[in-house]
Structure 1
């Protein structure tokens, strides 16, 4: 599937709203004014999932790009999207896009300083050392501030999914203290074609409330009593609209390495987890992945037309309090919970809700839900 068939549009030809166009010019002016500063100046772009942060960031990057400017993203699948778009954008090179760790290690070794560094999904930057992945510092954003004249970042603290990449407003302010900082926020939802569904998801993940399901005319929102009918629906949606995929919270056993196939069981549904994608094409753009279940590691940052989301065992509903409840012991992504000083149960619960938020906001035109736990499933069906 060529990139033009996907809905993840990053190219400079992508249609920007007047607000996005004005913001693009504002950031470009900021870069020009500070690219000779000795101490890094920082532009911070805040925004919810689907608010167009990546589109604006890449629009600025392609507009001002010159040697010594780099765009970084700490996510393999998003990096593939960027490189695929780069191959279709005149004057932009695939090597201009890379992950933060190799960039930091290379620049520290050379002693060079970049004119500007752009960081997408900055909430995925490491905020502690990770020797296994060759990062020996303690804060990747702090390192980048030493390696560039200008740093432009986009962030959403509600998309933090690992304790080793734990960010919040306090840590961001602490890291940027003493630097020239400007910021802006994108609040309009561009991915999901129904604000009412986005608001429903926000109540779920931010307040742990379950509201009656909205029924927008331009968005297909359904709850299923079993995983197999959800999968059947996704296949039908893919045939009609393309880019429909099954995705799930990381509540099902898996290991990153090895040849063993790991499975997601959701009612009568039995589908394999996604595997490490060694191709240069994003997971969701490969037709064979229609018969797999994706995770945040393959879908974060990517737009689907329709998302079939399995809410796993860590997410449940308590009828007495009428609230979503979290059981962190049932969350299988132990890498996300790697021990971190000063962070505990509250942060773990927040990460699980962040994962649910990311997954439920993937679809532009539709969202199907199946909950493994009976209480949550029955409550969702009743609200439908």
Structure 2
């Protein structure tokens, strides 16, 4: 068991650094915040420019951009100031409904930031086109969720979110992680990003230090191996609680116990179980385990990860992406198996229930390879949510046996 303090009711990965719930920035993070502000000062009146911040989940990308955004808004709204950014129009965009809820709520506690400073990308693009306005500095958190094709059902008529944003802003600051791409219609890789940024002044920053998972490096290495289709020996025993379960109900009971003592502990699952937005409850059943999927509550002001009642639900990648948990119990559903012959993870795209993730494959080379990458990315997102402990259960018998072997070898 770790001796670190329990998480607050806020998802710490996204709490602005000025919040009482957020530890002070490290010297390196503060230096990056200063660099972002200077980059905006230098380029907002000179030429189109983009600053791309990359890094794995938990490397503090959102923390840094929130601190930089708040600083820039302080400068922009200082009526007596003479800073080049004084009077500038700046926005934070995020294509994630749960994170928008959180950002707008936290904005009310920060003197320089307003709720209207946070928008969905489609709203920003459509409003700018309708009013003929532009922005000075636009931050895009979780830029890997931007649409890379039109989505008329959701009122985006243009070809590409980022292409539109680059045309409507003088400076764009992007948080980008290609290992968190989850859909064909928002399919990104580094080459696609580079092609769109051609013609702009571009600066890249790579973050590597892990802030979320209070774990030794072998935990991140194990997760990286899994998303590459390999099973490495289990991490060594340490304060971060990494466990393999043979029974999903037992895992749930352990998660409930942690939620009672530490808070912010939840069950999560791959999108391998039927779920329909029809107002009804839909359930995940694995042996003795039987629990409903997360309910869609768009009018609920709290994000799913923040609500205490969601200990009675199973979260999906769409409700937890971008948020921290203390402990996560992850169910690897039937689409995630083990191939004894190749000694590799086997991904069965035909058993993935998130069919919307695979809509819009036109123009993509090797869509089957991308399907598998999307599913492994989703697993990566689920596994990288917890700060203090990760528990795994595999539905597929072969994978469950192999994980059990690794557990037993580590205990020998």
User: Does TM, normalized by the shorter one, top 0.5?
Assistant: yes
SS of equivalent to 1:270: strand
Q: Give me the whole-angstrom Cα distance separating, in 2, the residues matched to 1:134 and 1:123.
A: 19
2:64 pairs with 1:50: no
In structure 2, what is the Cα distance between the partners aligned to 1:266 and 1:363?
22
Residue 212 of structure 1 is aligned with which of 233, 240, 246? 233
Partner in structure 2 of residue 132 of structure 1: 153
1:63 aligns with 71
Aligned to 1:265: 285
Note if contact 1:313-1:330 (Cα within 8 Å) is conserved in structure 2.
yes
Q: Match of 2:297?
A: 277
**Secondary structure in structure 2 of the residue aligned to 1:272:** strand
Instruction: Give the whole-Å Cα distance in 2 for the aligned partners of 1:49 and 1:324.
Output: 21
Distance 1:298 1:222 in 2: 23
Query: So what's the TM-score if we normalise by structure 1?
Result: 0.96
**Candidates 120, 130, 142, aligned match of 2:141:** 120
Mapped pair 1:6 → 2:19: no
1:90 aligns with 111
Could you tell me whether the CA contact under 8 Å between 2:11 and 2:305 is conserved in 1?
no
The 8 Å contact of residues 315 and 326 in structure 1, kept in 2 or not, is answered as yes
User: Aligned pair 1:365/2:388, yes or no?
Assistant: yes
Q: Please tell me whether the aligned partners of residues 10 and 59 of structure 1 are also in contact (alpha carbons under 8 angstroms).
A: no
Deviation at 1:213, TM superposition (A): 1.2
2-structure distance, mates of 1:211, 1:156: 23
For residues 57-105 of structure 1, what are the alpha-carbon distances to aligned partners after superposition, in whole Å with 9 as ceiling and x for unaligned? 1000001113510000000111122122212212211111111001110
Q: 1:318 to 1:4 in 2, by over 3 A?
A: closer
Q: Pick one of 146, 149, 169 that aligns with 2:170.
A: 149
**Partners of 2:244 and 2:204 in 1: CA distance:** 38
- How many angstroms apart in 2 are the aligned matches of 1:267 and 1:109? 54
1:33 corresponds to: 42
Q: What is the correspondence of 1:325-336 to structure 2 with a 5 Å cutoff? A: 325-336=346-357
1:333-367 superposed Cα distances (whole Å, 9 cap, x missing partner): 00000031133100000000000000000000000
Q: Is the 8 A contact 2:245 2:391 kept in 1?
A: yes
Work out the CA distance in 1 between the residues paired with 2:282 and 2:9.
Answer: 30
Structure 1 position 197, deviation (Å): 1.0
Q: Whole-Å Cα distance in 2 between the matches of residues 29 and 4 of structure 1?
A: 33
What are the ranges of 5 or more consecutive residues in structure 2 without an aligned counterpart?
1-6, 77-87, 408-412
Q: Distance in 2 between matches of 1:339 and 1:130?
A: 9
- Per the TM alignment, residue 276 of structure 1 is displaced from its structure 2 partner at its CA by 1.2
CA RMSD of aligned residues (A): 1.2
Q: Is the contact between residue 196 and residue 216 of structure 1 (CA under 8 Å) also seen in structure 2?
A: no
SS at match of 2:173: strand
**Equivalence for 1:374:** 397
Q: Give the conservation status (yes or no) of the 8 Å contact 1:328–1:349.
A: yes
User: Is there any run of 5+ residues in structure 1 with no aligned partner, and where?
Assistant: none
Question: Counterpart in 2 of 1:74?
Answer: 95
1:293 alignment partner, SS class? strand
TM-score normalized with structure 2 length? 0.90
Contact 1:309/1:368 (8 A) holds in 2: yes
Q: Between 86-95 and 147-156, report the one with greater CA deviation.
A: 86-95
- The 1:46/1:237 distance shift into structure 2, 3 A limit, reads same
Q: Is the 8 A contact 2:11 2:306 kept in 1?
A: no
Q: Residue deviations 1:184-234, cap 9 Å, x none?
A: 01111111111221110001102x111121134210111111110011010
How far residue 266 of structure 1 moved from its aligned partner, in angstroms, is 2.1
- 1:254 is the counterpart of 2:275: yes
How far residue 267 of structure 1 moved from its aligned partner, in angstroms, is: 2.5
The aligned length equals 379
The CA distance in 2 between the partners of 1:191 and 1:277, in whole Å, is 27
